């Protein structure tokens, strides 16, 4: 099932926050992304509907196996594309912003080719 770019961004954010803490709340997502509570609430509802996240009895957001798989894929694309752009001379802020846009649209085939071509050129 395809989720929109915004859904992928929420998924990636939950993934990043879950790497730092076992307790990720919707308010943490709001603060990290700078979005309103209603916006995050809608996104969380959709991600739950698609079985990409659940919430435990305390309201903490938990990635499902499929959610973790998708989020880690998005995050890998983001980090590698950012490093690639920085490596070719793009400033970090622009590289991060551009990687964030590219990560949602690049095909698996193209991304794998990029990974293969840069292997060993810089720390991934």
Domains belonging to the chain, first-starting first, are 5-66 (1.10.10.10), 70-118 (1.10.60.10)
Q: What is the pLDDT of residue 124?
A: 46
Answer yes or no: is pLDDT of 1 > 80: no
With bands split at pLDDT 50, 70 and 90, how would you rate the model's confidence at 122? low
Q: pTM for the full model? A: 0.87
Whole-number Cα distances in Å, 32 to 14, 17, 52, 107? 9, 8, 19, 27
Using CA of residue 101, residue 27, residue 1, residue 75, what is the dihedral sign?
positive
- Neighbouring C-beta atoms of residue 56, cutoff 10 Å: 9
- pLDDT tens profile 27-83: 999 999 999 999 999 999 999 999 999 999 998 999 999 999 999 999 999 999 999
Q: What is the pLDDT of residue 46?
A: 94
**Contact by Cβ (8 Å): 78, 9:** no
Residues 72 and 66: their CA atoms lie apart, in Å, by 10
Answer yes or no: is pLDDT of 106 > 60: yes
Residues 54 and 44: their CA atoms lie apart, in Å, by 9
């Amino acid at each position: 099932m395809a989720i929109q770019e915004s859904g992928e961004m929420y998924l990636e954010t939950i993934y990043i926050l879950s790497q730092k803490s076992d307790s990720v709340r919707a308010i943490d997502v709001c603060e990290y992304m700078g979005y309103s509570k209603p916006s995050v609430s809608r996104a969380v509802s959709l991600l739950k509907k698609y079985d990409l996240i659940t919430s435990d009895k305390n309201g903490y957001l938990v990635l499902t196996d499929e959610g973790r798989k998708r989020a880690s894929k998005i995050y890998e694309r983001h980090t590698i594309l950012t490093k690639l752009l920085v490596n070719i001379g793009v400033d970090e802020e622009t590289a991060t912003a551009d990687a964030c846009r590219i990560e949602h649209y690049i095909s698996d085939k193209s991304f794998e080719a990029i990974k293969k071509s840069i292997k060993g050129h810089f720390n991934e």
